[in-house]
Each structure stands twice: as C-alpha cells, then as structure tokens.
Chain A
Amino acid sequence: MNTKNLTCIECPMGCSIEVETEGDKVISVKGNTCPRGKLYAENEIVCPRRVITSTVRAKNGVMIPVKTNAPVKKSEIFEVMKKINAVHPALPVHIGDVLLKNITENIDLVATGNFEKK
C-alpha cells in the first residue's frame, strides 16, 4: 500500500489530501472537505487532468481568451497548446463560442471573452 499527498485544486481552500493506493486502485481519501476533493484525488491517481486556459490571436490581431470546455489529460497539455496556437478566429467572438471542435477526446476549445467586430 502507498500513500500520496496531494493539494486539491478545485477551489481556493487548497485542502491537503492524503490518498492511500494499492497499485493504481484508490483505497481511501482523507483530508478533503467536500466531495469534489474526493473526486479530484481519485482522478489525480488514475489520470490527472487539467482545464487549459490560454489565448488565441484573432484574424484582426486582438488576443481572445479561451479554455478547454473540459479538463484534458495532463500528459497532452503541450500538444493541446500547439493546436490552440494555430487557431485564428474572425470577429465577432462571444463567450462560449466553440473556436475548435474536438481538440482532443471530444473536448472543445471555447472563447471566454466577448469581442465585437469593429
């Protein structure tokens, strides 16, 4: 049996979580204050994932903030970044607009800012 110490990243509280594992199976999760912490710890052992936030340059030059609409595999972060940096949308762009479908595993890249056509 192994124990692993994690810091939960689900909210600003940043609970210190202790996970006991047997192989790649989670036996127990301690230290979390909410169910999201438990879920985070379990995922973190099996396959850590992160939402990526970044920017893309629109055709007219302005930078548009974007995010993946679900967490992507941590191991794929830099591949996903390459795809993000190749996206150049035309304005207008609004919050929630899908700028690239299926960047990986059916996860989309969406805009997180509003930019009108000038």
Chain B
Amino acid sequence: MKQEYDIVVIGGGPAGLAAAVAAYDSGIKDILILEREDKTGGILNQCIHNGFGLTRFKENLSGPEYAARFIDEVEKRKIEVLTQTTVLSLTKEKEITAVNAKNGVFTISAKAVILAMGCRERSRGALNIAGSRPAGIYSAGTAQKYVNIKGYLPGKNVVILGSGDIGLIMARRMTLEGAKVHAVCEIMPYSSGLKRNIAQCLDDFGIPLYLNHTITKIEGKERVTGVVVSKVDENKKPIAGMEIHFDCDTVLFSVGLIPENELTKGAGVPLSQKTKGATVYQNRETEVSGIFACGNVLQVHDLVDFVSEEAELAGGSAAKYVKEGAKPHSAVEVVNGKNINYVLPQKIDQNIEGDVKLFFRVGGTFKNCTVKVECEGKTIIERKKRIVAPGEMETLLLKFEEIKKAQGPITVSLEADE
C-alpha cells in the first residue's frame, strides 16, 4: 500500500467528493479519499427526498442522484477511494492513521489534507429530558437510515421533537410508510426548518406543529408509551398546567447538527466556538498549514449545493498548496458584530487575491433590517434585507480592493430598522 499522497481527503460525502474532483482538476492527481461507510455519497444516500441541486444543476434531484453526479466525476478521474476505512487520528504533520479490514491499522502521510467529515446530530443526552431509557427513541437521521437504507419502520405512533429539516422530512416519510405522526414540537417560536418543508411535509398530511412547546417527559419502561409535551414561556421554561399528553411508541429528535471535529482537534487545529468547526482563511485553509476544511465539518450548511461550492474552493486551494508550498499569511480578522451569530471565513489573507464571499448567520428573526460590513469605523457594504432568520445562511461579497485596504478587523453587524 502506498504510504504518501499529495492530497488525502477525509470523508467521501458531498464535500469530500467535490473537493477531490476540484483538486484533481487543478492539477494534482495523486489523491486518496478515505470513507468509513461501504460506499461514498455520505448522508445523501439516505436523503431520498428531492429538492437537491436546484442551485447547482438547475434540476430537482434526490439525494442519491445528486451524489451520483459527483461519484461519476470521481470515477471518471480514477481518483483512489478507500471505503470501509475509518480514520483514527490526524497529526499537525499531516500523518493520518486509519483502519480497515483489509489493511489493518496503517499510517499514511500527505502534503495537504482536506477535512470533509461532515456533521452529526445532537442527541437526547444533550437535552436533559426526564424519563428512563426505553426503546423507541431515535435521532431523526437514525430513523431515516432505518427506513430508507435498512427498510425498517422504527415505529407506528410518532412524536417528533425539533422542527429541523430532517425531522420534517421524516414526519412525511414515516407517514407515507403508514405511521401516524401525532405532533412536531418546537421550543422556539419559529421553525428552524425550511418553510417549504413545513408546507409539504406537515401541512400536506395534517401533522400539527406546536411552536413554543417541548417534550418534558418520556414515559415507558421497555418501550416508549407516551410523552408529555409542555408549552414554554419566553424564557423557554415549561408553563405548569399547559401540558398535553400523547400516546406514542416512538420519539424522534431533530434538534440540530454539530460538526464532527474530533480528528480536527486531535491535529491541534483551532476551532471556532460559534461554528464548532475550524477557523479558516478564505481559501478554507485552517490555522494549521496544509490542512483545509469544507462542508458541514466546517459550518453546517442549509443546502448541499453550497457544500459542493465550498468544497471546490478547498480542493482548489489544497492543490495550489501542494504545487506552490506554504505561503506566509497576512490576515485581517473577520468579527461578528451586533445580531450576528457567526461569520466565515474568520480570517482574510490579504496575500490571496480575489473577492471573498462572506457566509454568516444572524442571531434572530428580523424584518426590514440592514446588514453592514465595517472596517475601522468605515462602512464598506450596506445591504437592506426584507427578512432574515437564523435558519437561513446569508452571504455577502467583499471586493478585493476593500480587502487590500483593510488595516484592522472587518466587522459584520445587523441593525434592525424599526
């Protein structure tokens, strides 16, 4: 087995596949993709619903169809892929230790590494809900895997906590397969899922959405037998006397995604407290030279189309790094100001030419507001927005001529007009 590669991509989901193809097309052919599942495509393989690719391909594709487009491109270029291979550790020196049934435990080194491990779901444990540990409690993504990959219906009477997109999609999916979804509960006053999914996954099937409600108790010993759902006040505390009881055998959690960064941490790559992903320059290089990150391991995206775009940026940058070697950075910080949850990239390197697309999420729902980009008291960009919400990622293009001029941190902030 080969011990050295120009580029090793960790993760063969949408980010890893697009990054590898972009790196190859930028002139670096010696690439290895490491994937822990038995085939590439990542989470798209179980996302059998449609709505993918509208931005990128101007077509309405299912998840597996979207993945196949990139799997085909990887195969066309004969990029090496090792499936059923789990990466155990990564070092600053870009040494990767992995394990699979054929090669055992092995270590390879790379000139550049692209992190594309994706994200995982927040679990019940993160929420502190009272009750014992009966069978019938799943994360929405686990239920999705059971139904779509394994062909099992994990329950017949379902209550879903959290109105993230996967939860909404699973409400429809389980209904189609004959289950009864009694309620979707959301602790916030608004849904974190796309509006279209409220319409086509809940409203189409008459599934009620309870905003400002959460599950306060799960009943059952061997198997879930019911849940208590409580209305919450503005501080998200349950209001006594406002409980609703549902008989059910299954509870799904769709309560957010967290980038999967154990390997990143192990390599000493600094992470952002806000995104839970690496802090990066605009070319998606982390603060460890030659280690790049893209896709949901870096920031949880709303649409896979944007994952592909980011991955191509990282892939191209990694190829450039291999060809030209490490370059000194001259960076200005990008800071999240008022009403902004995070901005990515966190650092802009003035030595890298070109405009920079800023990705950011706002801290609440605002109508008629102004997003401002400022540097040293001077406004660089001012953009009116009709409506913004934390669930929808926003972008702004920062011109290189402004980047060149910047002497201090660049701040993105949001002002409510009324």
Q: Taking CB as reference atom, which chain A residue is nearest B60?
A: A51
Interface readout for A61-102 with B: 1 if CB under 8 Å, 0 if not? 101011100000010011001000000000000010000000
**Structural contact, B54 and A12, CB atoms closer than 8 A:** yes
**Structural contact, A12 and B196, CB atoms closer than 8 A:** yes
Task: Decide if B328 is an interface residue (CB 8 Å cutoff).
Answer: no
Task: Decide if A1 is an interface residue (CB 8 Å cutoff).
Answer: no
Task: Decide if A9 is an interface residue (CB 8 Å cutoff).
Answer: yes
Stretch of B76-84, B104-112, B147-155, B317-325 on the interface side = B147-155
Chain A residues with CB under 8 A of B159: none
CB distance from B81 to the nearest CB of A (A): 15
Interface readout for A88-118 with B: 1 if CB under 8 Å, 0 if not? 0000000100000000000000001110000
Stretch of B92-100, B197-205, B208-216 on the interface side = B197-205
- Decide yes or no: A14 and B62 within 8 Å by CB, A54-B176, A57-B151, A65-B48 being known contacts: no
Task: Decide if A19 is an interface residue (CB 8 Å cutoff).
Answer: no
CB distance from B233 to the nearest CB of A (A): 28
Distance between Cα atoms of A101 and B148 in the complex (Å): 22
Task: Decide if B121 is an interface residue (CB 8 Å cutoff).
Answer: no
- Candidates A53, A63, A81; contact of B62 at CB < 8 Å: A53
Q: Taking CB as reference atom, which chain B residue is nearest A44?
A: B199
Distance between Cα atoms of A51 and B204 in the complex (Å): 13
Chain B residues with CB under 8 A of A74: 204
- Candidates A7, A55, A67; contact of B148 at CB < 8 Å: A55
Chain A residues with CB under 8 A of B151: 55, 57, 61, 63
Chain A residues with CB under 8 A of B195: 7, 14, 16
CB distance from A98 to the nearest CB of B (A): 15
Distance between Cα atoms of A1 and B250 in the complex (Å): 44
Distance between Cα atoms of A94 and B389 in the complex (Å): 39
Chain B residues with CB under 8 A of A66: 48
Chain B residues with CB under 8 A of A112: 48, 61-62, 64-65
Distance between Cα atoms of A10 and B54 in the complex (Å): 9
Q: Taking CB as reference atom, which chain A residue is nearest B198?
A: A7
CB distance from A49 to the nearest CB of B (A): 11
Task: Decide if A29 is an interface residue (CB 8 Å cutoff).
Answer: no
- Candidates B51, B148, B198, B302; contact of A65 at CB < 8 Å: B148
- What range describes how many residues of B lie at the interface? 20 to 34
CB distance from B225 to the nearest CB of A (A): 27
Distance between Cα atoms of A52 and B54 in the complex (Å): 17
Distance between Cα atoms of A114 and B63 in the complex (Å): 12
Distance between Cα atoms of A81 and B172 in the complex (Å): 12
Chain A residues with CB under 8 A of B148: 55, 63, 65
Task: Decide if B88 is an interface residue (CB 8 Å cutoff).
Answer: no
CB distance from B206 to the nearest CB of A (A): 12
Interface readout for A8-37 with B: 1 if CB under 8 Å, 0 if not? 111111101000000000000000000000
Distance between Cα atoms of A55 and B177 in the complex (Å): 10
Chain A contact residue count (CB 8 A cutoff)? 30
CB distance from B403 to the nearest CB of A (A): 29
Distance between Cα atoms of A25 and B178 in the complex (Å): 34
CB distance from B41 to the nearest CB of A (A): 9
CB distance from A85 to the nearest CB of B (A): 8
Task: Decide if B368 is an interface residue (CB 8 Å cutoff).
Answer: no
CB distance from B156 to the nearest CB of A (A): 15
CB distance from B367 to the nearest CB of A (A): 13
Task: Decide if A45 is an interface residue (CB 8 Å cutoff).
Answer: no
**Structural contact, A14 and B199, CB atoms closer than 8 A:** yes
CB distance from B310 to the nearest CB of A (A): 17
Chain A residues with CB under 8 A of B150: 63
Distance between Cα atoms of A114 and B39 in the complex (Å): 11
**Structural contact, A12 and B62, CB atoms closer than 8 A:** no
Distance between Cα atoms of A95 and B48 in the complex (Å): 12
- Candidates B48, B51, B65; contact of A55 at CB < 8 Å: B48
- Decide yes or no: A7 and B199 within 8 Å by CB, A63-B151, A65-B148, A67-B50 being known contacts: yes
Task: Decide if B303 is an interface residue (CB 8 Å cutoff).
Answer: yes
8 contacts between A and B (CB under 8 A): A6-B199, A7-B195, A7-B203, A11-B54, A50-B200, A55-B148, A78-B176, A112-B61
Interface residues of B (CB under 8 A from A): 45, 48-51, 54, 60-65, 68, 71, 147-151, 176-177, 194-196, 198-200, 203-204, 302-303
Interface residues of A (CB under 8 A from B): 6-14, 16, 50-55, 57, 61, 63, 65-67, 74, 77-78, 81, 95, 112-114
Q: A12-B196, A54-B48, A81-B177 are in contact. List 19 more A-B contacts (CB 8 A).
A: A7-B198, A8-B196, A9-B199, A9-B200, A10-B196, A11-B51, A14-B196, A16-B195, A50-B200, A50-B204, A52-B176, A55-B148, A57-B151, A65-B64, A81-B176, A112-B61, A112-B65, A113-B48, A113-B68
